Amino acid sequence: MEKLIHQILKASWSLKIGVIAGLSALMTLGTWYFAIHPARNQIERLEKERRKLEGEYIDKQQIADNLNEYRREKAELEEKLAAALLELPQEAAIDELLRQLHELGTNAALQIASIEPQAEAKEEFFARIPVRMRVKGSYHEILTFLDEVSRMKRIVNVNDIQLGKPTVQNEKVVLESDFLATTFRFLTPEEMAPDKSQSAQTKRGRR
């Protein structure tokens, strides 16, 4: 190494400048290869990772936004379903219905003569549940009762209203009224499913 240095020192200025330039280039190349090049590779790797993470974040954010929208729509549907089931429950709940009708009649100052549930009648996706009622009271009391029934959360239709002859009791005109209060319920999926035995009988009858 010392011999090489002595030879360089004895060389001409042009050769010295060339050697120095070569060493500078070699040092620059070494710096690029051993320091700048690895750092550049690391930066490129980190940039790719950053873009990948940003893409994943955007995708997950869209999923989260869609999930929030889905949850909001689901909550709205559940709320609407709950309201619909109040009006048209899946269970008959006859005892509760009779209790409510009796309470409304008593609050309207009616005399409840009878409340008799009738046979249920099934339709395509719902069932009718009629209740025959007979009450006594003034015309105003009967109207008050019917108005309260129309305000029930559960759907109850009153029809087939019959009014008897008015009588005077304790200085009050009293009517005896007979009517049919009909409520409804959703059929269960099992009830809406076709009856296999009946379908088999129908097919045998067609042969």
In a domain, 29, yes or no: yes
Do residue 133 and residue 159 come from a single domain? yes
Instruction: Give dist(CA 188, CA 207) in Å, integer.
Output: 32
Last residue of a domain, one of 39, 67, 87: 87
What is the C-alpha separation between 38 and 68, in angstroms, rounded? 44
In a domain, 131, yes or no: yes
Residues 71 and 125 reside in one and the same domain: no
Report the domain count for the chain. Answer: 2
Residue type, 79: E
**What pLDDT does residue 55 have?**
76
User: What is the dihedral sign for C-alpha 147, 149, 155, 158?
Assistant: negative
Average the pLDDT over each of 37-41, 58-62, 142-146, 160-164 and give the range with the smallest value.
37-41
Kindly state whether residues 186 and 146 are assigned to the same domain. Answer: yes
Each residue of 179-194: pLDDT tens digit?
A: 999 988 888 778 777 6
Q: Which of 38, 72, 87 is the last residue of a domain?
A: 87
Does residue 106 sit in the same domain as residue 135?
A: yes
**21 belongs to a structural domain:** yes
Domain that holds residue 98: 94-192
| 20/54 same-domain check | yes
Regarding whether 121 and 83 lie in a shared domain, the answer is no
Q: Is 119 left (phi over 0), alpha (psi -120 to 50) or beta?
A: beta
Do 30 and 74 have their domain in common? yes
Strand partners, 136: 111, 176
What's the predicted TM-score (pTM) here?
A: 0.55
Pair (39, 63) in one structural domain: yes
Contact 117/93 with Cβ under 8 angstroms?
A: no
pLDDT per position as a tens digit, 6-65: 554 454 545 455 545 555 554 554 554 544 445 556 556 656 766 776 677 777 777 777
